[in-house]
Amino acid sequence: MSYWDEALYLPPVLRTLTSLEIDMSVLAAGTVALDSVETPFGKAENILGGSATYITLAARFFSPDIRLIGVIGYDFPEEFVDRLKDAKIDLTGLEVNTSSRTFAWEGKYEYDLNQRDTIATHLNALETFRPQIPEQHRQCNIVCLGNLDPIVQCSVLDQMIDPDFVLCDTMNYWISQAPEKLRETIGRIDCLVVNDSECRQLADEPNLIRAARIIQQMGPKILVIKKGEHGALLFADENVFSVPAYPLENIQDPTGAGDAFMGGLAGFLSSQKEISLDTLKQAVVIGSAVASFTVESFGPDRLFEIDGQAISKRVDAFRELTTIPTPETVRL
């Protein structure tokens, strides 16, 4: 009998959120970018992008108090600022660097959409970005650290006053280039959200389940592994939960799906009374649902179109997709 036969039956409540004066708030620090993306289905230049953008746009469906921490340059279109403001994202923490251009990313996806090639990364305003969290933002329920230099991620945490729950993303570049600082960051968070190859790389272990256990030993008791078209895995203490990707025949642009996933997850958690195994499972499904919309258009367009009802309907479809029927007669 394997370890798991035991492990899957642990008590469901992991942790209860401390009540804060500021309720249901999410702060997301990350990139705000001008993306140029090419997929087999089209091409778009200098569109709204960045991890903080996708996280906040996804989180806003669940909370009225979504705060963005990031930087833009002098070339960032006013129109994009207006779109974010119209979406009720609090931009008090969006710094404008008037002497630099905005962080820009150019990428291309091959026909199977599983492989992303970065054509160019222009750090621009991001290069000197040292976020100053506005005083009124320092108390916050949920903190999302989007993919950024772990030094910057740590500096955000240094400025926050006792957040209830901290989620963090990273990428292969920081795992290989800044392993010590990244380990410091990971040691301070509650939940790491990475893709499967990053998980294997960070743990230096090819078996994904063992890799997850190794990362949990590094600090975060909760780990979410994003597997693109194969869905996501949640590791919470000793428990495991699996959610598939929503079966989509038409994927326009995968950019931002992982960030929208984390945003939906974080936003949903901020709307709950406690962070338990059950709310975490629901949050991972919600994140998957929001991510599944994101890829249906170029950039974050779909995130501006959908509403809570659309997300709710898709969550029902996830239930349909995964529910194992109870057998009437199993002869074993």
x/- contact string, 77-116, with a second copy (CB under 8 A)? Answer: ----------------------------------xxx---
Work out whether 62 is an interface residue with a second copy (CB under 8 A): yes
Work out whether 209 is an interface residue with a second copy (CB under 8 A): yes
Work out whether 119 is an interface residue with a second copy (CB under 8 A): no
Identity of the residue numbered 84: L
- The CB density around residue 36, as the number of other CB atoms within 10 Å, is 18
Among 13, 22, 161, 321, binds a second copy (CB under 8 A): 321
Rounded to the nearest whole angstrom, what is the least distance from the CB of residue 314 to a second copy in the complex? 7
Among 134, 201, 240, 301, binds a second copy (CB under 8 A): 240
List the interface residues with a second copy, window 241-270 (CB under 8 A).
Answer: 241-244, 246-251, 268
Backbone angles phi, psi at 233, to 5 degrees: -120, 135
Give all strands of the β-sheet with 116-122 in edge-to-edge order. Answer: 42-49, 33-39, 104-109, 116-122
x/- contact string, 121-160, with a second copy (CB under 8 A)? Answer: ----------------------------------------
Nearer to a second copy, 5 or 21 (CB): 5
Nearer to a second copy, 92 or 207 (CB): 207
Whole-angstrom distance, CA of residue 284 vs CA of residue 34: 28
DSSP 247-260: --S-----TTHHHH
List the interface residues with a second copy, window 27-56 (CB under 8 A).
Answer: none
Work out whether 231 is an interface residue with a second copy (CB under 8 A): yes
Counting other chains too, the contacts that 154-160 makes at CB distance below 8 Å and 24 or more residues apart are 154/181, 154/184, 154/185, 154/188, 155/130, 155/131, 156/29, 156/69, 156/131, 157/185, 157/188, 157/189, 159/131, 159/132, 159/133, 160/27, 160/133
Work out whether 165 is an interface residue with a second copy (CB under 8 A): no
Among 104, 144, 233, 262, binds a second copy (CB under 8 A): 233
Stretch that binds a second copy, among 145-153, 185-193, 201-209, 216-224 (CB under 8 A): 201-209
Identity of the residue numbered 201: Q
Stretch that binds a second copy, among 78-86, 92-100, 117-125, 306-314 (CB under 8 A): 306-314
Nearer to a second copy, 119 or 248 (CB): 248
Among 69, 175, 189, 285, binds a second copy (CB under 8 A): 285
Work out whether 66 is an interface residue with a second copy (CB under 8 A): no
**Sequence-separated (6 or more) residues with CB below 8 Å from residue 107:** 35, 36, 37, 38, 116, 117, 118, 119, 255
DSSP 93-157: TEEEETTSPPPEEEEEE-TTSS-EEEEEEE-GGGGG------GGGSS-SEEEE-S--HHHHHHHH
Measuring CA to CA, how many Å separate 96 from each of 72, 128, 129, 259? 5, 12, 10, 22
What residues line the site for a second copy (CB under 8 A)?
A: 1-5, 8-9, 61-62, 111-113, 200, 206-210, 213, 227, 229-231, 233, 240-244, 246-251, 268, 271-273, 278-279, 281-282, 285, 296, 308-315, 317-325, 327, 329-332
